[in-house]
Amino acid sequence: MCNERISMRKIREIMRLKYVCGLANDKIADSCGVSETTVRKYLKEATASNITWEKAELLTEEELSALIFPPKKESAEFPINFEEAHLELKKKGVTKELLWREYREHAERGYSYSQYCRLYQDWLKTKSLVMRQNHQAGEKAFVDFAGKTVPIWDESGRVMFEADIFVGVLGASQYCYAEAVASQGLEDWIKAHIHMLEFFGGVPEIVVPDNLKSAVSKACRYEPDLNPTYHEFAVYYQFAVIPARAKKPKDKAKVENAVGLVTRWILAVLRKRKFFSLSQLNEAIFELLEKLNHRKFQKIDESRYSLFEKLDKPALKPLPLEKYEFSEIFFAKVNIDYHIAVKENYYSIPYQYVGETVTVKLRFSVVEVLHKNKRLCIHQRSYGKHQHITTKDHMPKSHQRYLEWTPSRIINWAKTVGPFTASAIEHILISREHPQQAYRSCLGVLRLQNYYGPQRLELACGRANHFNICSYKKIKTILEKNLDKLPLEESPKHNPIVHENIRGGNYYQITLEGETSHESESNDREIINASSSWDDQGLGRTDKDDDECKS
């Protein structure tokens, strides 16, 4: 039997060509663009319904359709439980054909498979859009932030910050989770996911987030780039992340509906209350959340919790044995001083990886560095600023061809600019425990000539030497502020003040000169001692360099 369904306009044309024009069925099929079997089928239907052309010509399309396709009433003797069938279809492996076979086992003279499917689709159209979406049990969880925030107050009556509301919902049962967090930042985003999965008691196969920065580093319709930390979290809990497409709310209709429910039944209820901490706010949210999940649907005699127990809970994957430890993940390039910059500090890497891009996992107490998924090293995390955390084993034992930077080479490069520049570079090298720790600053100073020229750099270094402020930032500031163009000022001279309680200028002059002389000698000895401690095997200056420095 042909299943091709055509419009009533075309059926009317088939009857006209047959009964008025007297064309053969094959000619009618060519004219109407349908198969010959379809022509025979509808002519047979019209004959069975006693519809002549004269009668059909006077009927509207709706009236003609009602005569040719009379509505088939559902058998009262063998009814179908569509609600139960709809819930069963959410379970893995369950199909309409399987449900129909089970139905026919109890109703031998019941509906055919095609009638069963048609009646189910007709019933489904009468339900809401959310009800019609068919999500497999345990397959998807949708997550997002609610648009509304809740203020957190301090004791003085001022708002400390606005708490964001994280919302998650399972696709099959629509079982909801909500939590107040301090921000939409990465750490709060990950912690909210952990609490959500613990609330569900398992892990779905797929999590569908929006395109916020904590989830997606680079949004794209077809291949979005996940945030590295979020990706590692997904790998740890063994679920896939499929971000919703931008400006496609139907991709996450479940969570959009859940956000609306949380806004109406939780946030609106709490609108007149003041909260002084996140824990206090979450306690109130969880109390109302339980009521929301146990409230029955309007069109089916089930609640979100009862559906969760029947559908999603048995299908979720088990949680890992240990909770995920948050770590911020990013990429860094190993500098020529075999250090990487992490949160304004510098951590050493084995010198063989100079120039390579490594993966950094920044945890609360440690910094872990990997290259191509191979762990290179772990450092204790420093919370200071501009500190060098160096492991001696990471330093090269001998001069390597690809690591030709040495203190003497950098100083010789500086001499091509001028003696003041060379002196400033020496002071920067001496200021660090290991000369290699100063390479980054030295190169930064020397590269300033690309922007300001060697003459201005030499003048700026001369000024930095004069005021003993030799560092990359200070020298760069001198150039940016055009201070190198100003003459060096001598110490201001003031007329002495005569008073009986003042010992006199000679007393202070003698004291200051003595202190300055002593301090200068101490600095000279420090420079000479530090210089002599460097060897001449690629890690320090030679005796010739020392002589030039002293001169």
With contact defined as beta carbons under 8 Å apart, do 225 and 218 qualify? Answer: yes
With contact defined as beta carbons under 8 Å apart, do 187 and 178 qualify? Answer: no
Q: How confident is the model at residue 114, as a pLDDT?
A: 84
Residue among 142, 130, 145 at smallest CA distance from 204: 142
Q: Which CATH number fits domain 140-315: 3.40.50.2000, 3.40.50.1000, 3.30.420.10, 1.10.10.10?
A: 3.30.420.10
With contact defined as beta carbons under 8 Å apart, do 374 and 358 qualify? Answer: no
CA distances from 159 to 314, 339, 351 (A): 43, 42, 50
| CA 543/CA 490 separation, integer angstroms | 34
| CA 89/CA 239 separation, integer angstroms | 22
DSSP 475-496: HHHHHHTTGGGSPPPPPPP-PP
Angle at 25 between CA 23 and CA 27, to 5 degrees: 60
pTM here? Answer: 0.53
Q: What is the full per-residue pLDDT of the chain (551 aa) written as tens digits? A: 445 567 788 888 888 888 888 888 888 888 888 888 888 888 888 888 888 888 887 877 777 777 777 665 545 456 777 777 777 777 766 787 888 778 777 776 777 888 888 888 877 777 654 444 567 888 889 999 998 899 999 888 899 999 999 999 998 888 999 999 999 988 899 999 999 999 999 999 988 888 777 777 655 554 456 788 888 898 899 988 888 766 566 656 777 888 888 988 899 899 889 999 999 999 999 999 999 999 988 767 789 999 899 888 999 999 999 988 888 888 999 988 889 999 889 999 998 898 899 999 998 889 999 998 889 999 999 888 888 888 888 877 653 443 456 788 888 889 999 999 999 999 998 888 777 778 888 989 999 999 999 999 999 999 999 999 999 999 999 999 999 988 876 544 545 555 555 554 454 444 334 433 344 344 333 333 333 333 333 333 333 333 333 33
Give the residue extent of every domain in the chain: 8-68, 82-126, 140-315, 328-394, 407-550
The token pair that represents 175 in the structure block: 């079982």
| CA 367/CA 249 separation, integer angstroms | 39
Q: What is the dihedral of CA 417, 420, 422, 427, to 10 degrees?
A: -150
Residue among 164, 200, 165 at smallest CA distance from 293: 200
DSSP 217-235: EE--SSSPEEPHHHHHHHH
Residue whose entry in the numeric block shows the structure tokens 């969760």: 308
Angle at 242 between CA 194 and CA 264, to 5 degrees: 60
| CA 173/CA 303 separation, integer angstroms | 9
Burial 444-468 (b: 16+ CB within 10 A, else e): ebbebbeebeeebbbbbbbbbbeee
Q: Which DSSP helix (H) or strand (E) runs through 140?
A: strand 140-145
